[in-house]
Structure 1
Amino acid sequence: MIDFHTFFTRVQKATSISTQQDLAKALGVNRSAITQAKRRNSIPQKWILALSRSFQLSIDWLEFGVGKPDALLDPALLESTTTFAVPKVFARLCAGDGSFEVEATPIEEHIFKESWLAQKGTPSAMVLMDVIGDSMEPCICQGDTVLVDQAQTTLRADIIYAVGVDDSIMVKRVTAEHNKITLLSDNPAYSPISIQGDELLSFRVIGRVVWSARDY
């Protein structure tokens, strides 16, 4: 988990944010929330995702210092106008107790700038899926569309993944411990789901959620 000082330093470096008040405004939270995060010396994952969306920052760079802050820092990527079609599949991701609509049949394609996708992962391994349920609110809401990179299946703590358990597909934060997987929701109304023993045989990581979109 990234500490507050490192996080804030990266944010200041890559954005117009210069003060903690600026940070609070960008995140849409009270100044006291920033003070509490500084006192705990930890950053909520939803803040990292929110800043990534708002400022087109790499989540991996913002959280782990891996790679570059964004595509604008790479002239080759900036000049590229190549597009890539990402299929949207009829496999609704459930942000609740599970969805059984798991047939991954492409129903349409959406066009993205390939360099933008490449900053987030492997374009050829990406699919779009709709989310049902409210267990990941406020980060991901009912009806949102998520971009899932199926090449990113190595679990990292507190990262959001699309996962499968038996015939159910869910979008959750995932933690892995000795002989146990825990699926975590952002909505406090939902309890963690523990997967252990024989249940682990039916558990699979579909991919990492690298982006989401919402209609208003």
Structure 2
Amino acid sequence: MAAKAQKKLQGSKIVSSEGFGAAQIIARMMQALNLPTQSALAEELGVSRGAVSDAKAKDKIPAEWMLKLFRGHGLNPFWMETGRGAMYLDQGTVREDSPTGPARGEEGFDFIPLVEAKLSGGGGSVETEDRVLGYYAFRRAWLNGRGKIDSMRLMRVTGQSMEPTLEDEDVVLVDLSQHDILAGKIYAVRMDDEIVVKRLEKKPGMLVLLSDNRRFYDPLEVPVGEQLNVQVIGRVIWMAREMM
């Protein structure tokens, strides 16, 4: 993609921060389930022993592993990640910083991971589950009405191109299963080697990426035949902003 087009797109990208060590998380999983070996943990997770060893070596735990143990055994994702709080949710503890309000001791909640979003090498597919940075609790009924829960991820935004709708450091909830373009809706989109958030529209033979901050960011029209470098990751269905 031309440098000029790349410059226009800079501003609202998905970023990440450091998470907790994979070795400690694996140890807590084994402790909670009383599993003697990593092979036993791999069997519980439905993966190979090599997958567990690789996760430990790369210091990256797939979000699906924590979600599986949460849904299958009631393990508290926050405890698995940090070692703090109750080991099991039925002990009355979920994260108090839930964006949907206090959830302590209540049922009907699901945890959505805040993930590091990055691009994998080679095929250009987007990896969003290698490093979990935290979890937020949402009411399950609310999530069910908005998309596929297992495909939802939280990501952090940086930049000014989507102001005033999205500001620097906002957190967005993205449903990775929603790829169909609805005119005017906001999507996470891969553009070459970065992930951006834009409104999308279609024109005959064109995909149009729009910034809300149109005073400084021009629309970008991508011909259908040149969309190999453009991939719709998912639709943004919710956002949160910390008030300083």
TM-score clears 0.5: yes
SS in structure 2 of the partner of residue 120 of structure 1: coil
Following superposition of structure 1 onto structure 2, how do residues 66-77 of structure 1 map, counting pairs within 5 Å?
Answer: none
Deviation, structure 1 residue 103 = 5.0
Is 1:206–2:236 an aligned residue pair? no
Equivalent-residue separation in structure 1 for 2:127 and 2:224 (angstroms): 27
Q: Deviations over 1:188-210 (max 9, x none)?
A: 21101121255301211111100
CA distance in 2, matches of 1:134, 1:157: 22
Aligned residue-pair number: 128
Task: Answer yes or no: is 1:90 the counterpart of 2:116.
Answer: yes
CA distance in 1, matches of 2:194, 2:223: 16
1:107 to 2:139 alignment: no
- What is the alpha-carbon distance in structure 2 between the residues aligned to residue 197 and residue 212 of structure 1? 29
2:172–2:240: 8 Å Cα contact kept in structure 1? yes
Q: Per-residue CA shift, 1:72-115, capped at 9, x if unaligned?
A: xxxxxxxx9311111111127xxxxxxxxx75232222111111
Provide closer, same or farther for how the CA distance between residues 149 and 197 of structure 1 changes in structure 2, counting only shifts above 3 A.
closer
CA deviation after TM superposition for structure 1 residue 180, in Å: 1.4
Q: Following the alignment from structure 2 to structure 1, what is the Cα–Cα distance between the partners of residues 185 and 164?
A: 15
Counterpart residue number, 1:133: 159
Q: Residue 9 of structure 2 aligns with which residue?
A: none
For 1:201 and 1:178, the matched residues in 2 are separated by 17
Note the C-alpha offset of 1:136: 0.7
Does structure 1 residue 148 correspond to structure 2 residue 174?
yes
2:205 corresponds to which of 166, 171, 179: 179
C-alpha displacement of 1:117: 0.9
Matched, 1:192 2:211: no
Normalised TM-score (structure 2): 0.49
Give ranges in structure 2 of 5+ residues lacking alignment.
1-105, 119-125
Q: Which runs of 4+ in 1 moved over 6 A?
A: none
CA distance in 1, matches of 2:224, 2:234: 22
Task: Give the structure with higher Rg (CA).
Answer: 2
Residue identity matched to 1:139? T
- Equivalent residue, structure 1, for 2:193: 167
Given residue 138 of structure 2, which amino acid in structure 1 is its aligned partner? Answer: F
How big is the alpha-carbon RMSD for the aligned residues of Structure 1 and Structure 2?
1.8
1:200 maps to a residue whose letter is Q
CA distance in 2, matches of 1:203, 1:174: 12
Distance verdict in 2 for CA 1:103–1:152, change over 3 Å = closer
Q: Residue type matched to 1:173 in 2?
A: R
Which residue is 1:123 aligned to? 149
Cα distance, 1:132 vs. partner?
0.5
2:107 pairs, out of 81, 86, 95, with: 81
Q: Tell me by how many angstroms 1:176 deviates.
A: 1.6
Kept after mapping to 1: 8 A contact 2:207/2:224: no
Deviation at 1:116, TM superposition (A): 1.0
Secondary structure, in 3 states, of the residue corresponding to 1:190? Answer: coil
Greater length-normalized contact order (CA 8 Å, ≥ 6 residues apart): 2
**For residue 158 of structure 1, what is the amino acid of its counterpart?**
G
